């Protein structure tokens, strides 16, 4: 019988998380090349980690939805860290009355409105 100890499982999860974050970084470098270059590898990694962590804290776990939150962070040039300059982001993601994918869809719409200078 194969037994996986908690420490081994933790190592597997860490490796999977690292792989996922690197996949996100590749997508960001593909679609946001100038921003990714301006941030540099370390700040880009920090931004992706912060956006992914924010998504997960609000029950958003689907890979595509987490990537959409990362995309929003890139579009808005914000890390969504403790004092976000865009105070409407977190409340959108906290709306527990909506399915996580619906919250992300609303975030994406609101980001587009923000970038176009439209106020809801």
10 pLDDT more than 50: no
Domain-located, residue 69: yes
Provide the number of structural domains found in the chain. Answer: 1
At residue 55, the 3 state secondary structure works out as: helix
Specify whether the backbone of 117 is left (phi greater than 0), alpha (psi in -120 to 50) or beta: left
Q: Report residue 20's pLDDT band, with 50, 70 and 90 as the boundaries.
A: confident
93 pLDDT more than 50: yes
Domain-located, residue 83: yes
Domain-located, residue 31: yes
8 pLDDT more than 60: no
Domain-located, residue 76: yes
Domain-located, residue 59: yes
Sign of torsion, CA 65 30 110 48?
positive
Q: How far is CA 11 from CA 18, 31, 97, in A?
A: 11, 30, 34
Q: Report residue 3's pLDDT band, with 50, 70 and 90 as the boundaries.
A: low
The whole-model pTM stands at 0.80
Domain-located, residue 91: yes
Q: How far apart are CA 95 and CA 14, in angstroms?
A: 29
Reported as a single tens digit per residue, the pLDDT across 71-87 is: 999 999 987 776 667 88
The better pLDDT of the pair 11, 35 is held by 35
77-101: average pLDDT:
84
Nearest in space to 51 (alpha carbons), one of 118, 32, 13, 113: 32
pLDDT for 2 equals: 59
Domain-located, residue 5: no
Reported as a single tens digit per residue, the pLDDT across 36-58 is: 999 999 999 999 999 999 999 99
Segments forming the whole domain that contains residue 60: 13-116
Domain-located, residue 3: no
């Amino acid at each position: 019988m194969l037994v996986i100890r908690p420490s081994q499982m933790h190592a597997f999860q860490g490796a999977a998380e690292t792989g996922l974050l690197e996949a996100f970084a590749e997508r960001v470098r593909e679609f946001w090349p100038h921003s990714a270059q301006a941030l540099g590898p370390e700040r880009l990694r920090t931004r992706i980690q912060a956006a992914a962590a924010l998504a997960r804290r609000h029950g958003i776990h689907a890979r595509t939805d987490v990537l959409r939150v990362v995309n929003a962070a890139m579009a808005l040039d914000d890390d969504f860290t403790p004092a976000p300059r865009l105070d409407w982001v977190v409340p959108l993601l906290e709306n527990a009355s909506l399915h996580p994918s619906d919250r992300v869809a609303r975030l994406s719409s609101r980001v587009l409105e923000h970038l176009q200078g439209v106020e809801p």
